[in-house]
């Protein structure tokens, strides 16, 4: 699987539109619970809330969103692993919970490959490199030059140790042969606020979270990770254009069920999810919060989860990253 799974949605939607396999499963008999392993208000919660009603209509049942925050997603993930594999309990989780945690925490209470059946990668968004608008840094080459002139002195804010933003920062340092001072915050909001106030030199953040502040000129966008330029900011280069390779990075939201899901149930859930995810209404809602729809198959989602887990384990080991 490539690092640009977005392109798969169109092809898969076309296949689903022309094939209607017989399905033995009936998921309408009881409600479906979507576990969100974070507090209300975050990206995973937003995706779940936007899915809730149309997914209920597609499966002719009630869909309940159940927030189970704690342990960097581990509490909700462990609940999913203990749930019955009948299609009535699924989970929406971010890259950290789905792929980073297993390389970061030696005694993790769940293992995605062992405990989950991936249904789809729902959406993705690149990460952004931003600075305070009063900064002298205006471009990525200028940032690279500044870092090389001031090794180990430039502060980099993130939403927390082990977050996808933190590891994107570590990958950036490794691939650009630079470094800096990591300043972890307890969430993306405080990191953004302090960067806007000038208390941090550079911020790595989910693009959707900082897009409004970039548009209002309270933050300056330096680069957007990914394989190609983001349509929201088409004039902003990706790191590869400035000679920093390997930054095809996306923060993504995956949907999984407990391990052992029957094939017919997996097929029905995936088709219902893809139908909702690729609808014009859902796409428009995701556009507003900076996400692009992926909506791939269970096989593709499984391969991507494995690839991402291996990738970020290498970054964690190379950067000697440990949890707080």
Beta carbons within 10 angstroms of residue 22's beta carbon: 6
Q: What tens digit of pLDDT does each residue of 103-126 get? A: 999 899 999 999 999 999 999 999
Q: pLDDT of the chain along its 324 residues, tens only?
A: 445 554 555 455 444 544 444 445 789 989 999 999 988 888 889 999 999 999 999 999 999 999 999 888 899 999 999 999 999 999 999 999 999 999 999 899 999 999 999 999 999 999 999 999 999 999 999 999 999 999 999 999 998 888 889 999 999 999 999 999 999 988 888 999 999 999 999 999 989 889 999 999 999 999 999 999 998 899 999 999 999 999 999 999 999 999 999 999 999 999 999 999 999 999 999 988 889 999 999 999 999 999 999 999 999 999 999 886
Name every residue whose Cβ is closer than 8 Å to that of residue 32 and which is 6 or more positions away in sequence: 55, 56, 59, 61, 62, 63, 64, 87, 88, 89, 90
Q: Domains in the chain, ordered, with CATH? A: 5-124+251-318 (3.40.190.150), 126-242 (3.40.190.10)
What confidence score (pLDDT) does residue 277 get? 98
How many angstroms separate the Cα of 102 from the Cα of each of 46, 95, 107, 159, 298? Answer: 24, 11, 9, 19, 20
Pairing of strands 32-36, 63-67: parallel
What confidence score (pLDDT) does residue 13 get? 47
What confidence score (pLDDT) does residue 5 get? 52
Place of tokens 């959707």: 208
What confidence score (pLDDT) does residue 290 get? 81
Does the pTM surpass 0.75? The reply is yes
Name every residue whose Cβ is closer than 8 Å to that of residue 41 and which is 6 or more positions away in sequence: none
Residue 113: both structure tokens together? 């490959």
What confidence score (pLDDT) does residue 18 get? 43
How many angstroms separate the Cα of 269 from the Cα of each of 173, 187, 274? Answer: 40, 32, 9
Closest to 198 (Cα-Cα) out of 294, 130, 281? 130
Q: What tens digit of pLDDT does each residue of 252-271 get? A: 999 999 999 999 999 999 99
Report residue 268 CA to chain centroid gap: 24
Closest to 129 (Cα-Cα) out of 236, 51, 27? 236
């Amino acid at each position: 699987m490539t690092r640009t799974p977005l392109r798969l949605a169109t092809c898969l939607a076309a296949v689903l539109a022309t094939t209607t396999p017989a399905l033995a499963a009936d998921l309408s008999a009881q409600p479906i619970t979507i576990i969100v392993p974070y507090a209300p208000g975050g990206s995973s919660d937003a995706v779940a809330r936007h899915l809730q009603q149309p997914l209920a209509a597609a499966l002719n049942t009630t869909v309940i969103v159940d927030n189970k925050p704690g342990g960097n997603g581990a509490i909700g993930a462990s609940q999913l692993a203990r749930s019955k594999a009948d299609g009535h309990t699924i989970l929406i989780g971010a890259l950290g919970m789905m792929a980073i945690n297993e390389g970061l925490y030696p005694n993790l209470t769940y293992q995605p490959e062992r405990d989950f059946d991936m249904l789809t990668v729902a959406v993705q968004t690149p990460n952004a490199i931003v600075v305070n608008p009063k900064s002298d840094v205006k471009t990525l080459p200028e940032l690279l030059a500044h870092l090389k002139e001031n090794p180990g002195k430039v502060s980099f804010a993130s939403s927390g140790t082990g977050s996808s933003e933190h590891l994107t920062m570590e990958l950036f340092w490794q691939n650009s042969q630079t470094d800096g001072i990591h300043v972890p915050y307890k969430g993306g909001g405080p990191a953004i606020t302090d960067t806007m106030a000038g208390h941090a030199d550079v911020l790595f953040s989910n693009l959707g979270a900082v897009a409004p502040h970039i548009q209002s000129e309270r933050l300056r966008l330096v680069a957007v990770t990914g394989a190609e330029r983001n349509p929201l900011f088409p004039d902003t280069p990706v790191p590869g254009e400035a000679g920093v390779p390997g930054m095809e990075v996306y923060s993504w939201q995956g949907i999984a069920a407990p391990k052992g899901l029957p094939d017919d149930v997996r097929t029905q859930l995936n088709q219902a999810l893809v139908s909702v995810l690729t609808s014009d209404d859902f796409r428009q809602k995701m556009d507003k919060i900076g996400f692009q729809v992926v909506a791939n198959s269970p096989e593709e989602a499984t391969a991507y989860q494995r690839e991402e887990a291996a990738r970020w384990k290498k970054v964690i080991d190379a950067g000697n990253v440990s949890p707080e």
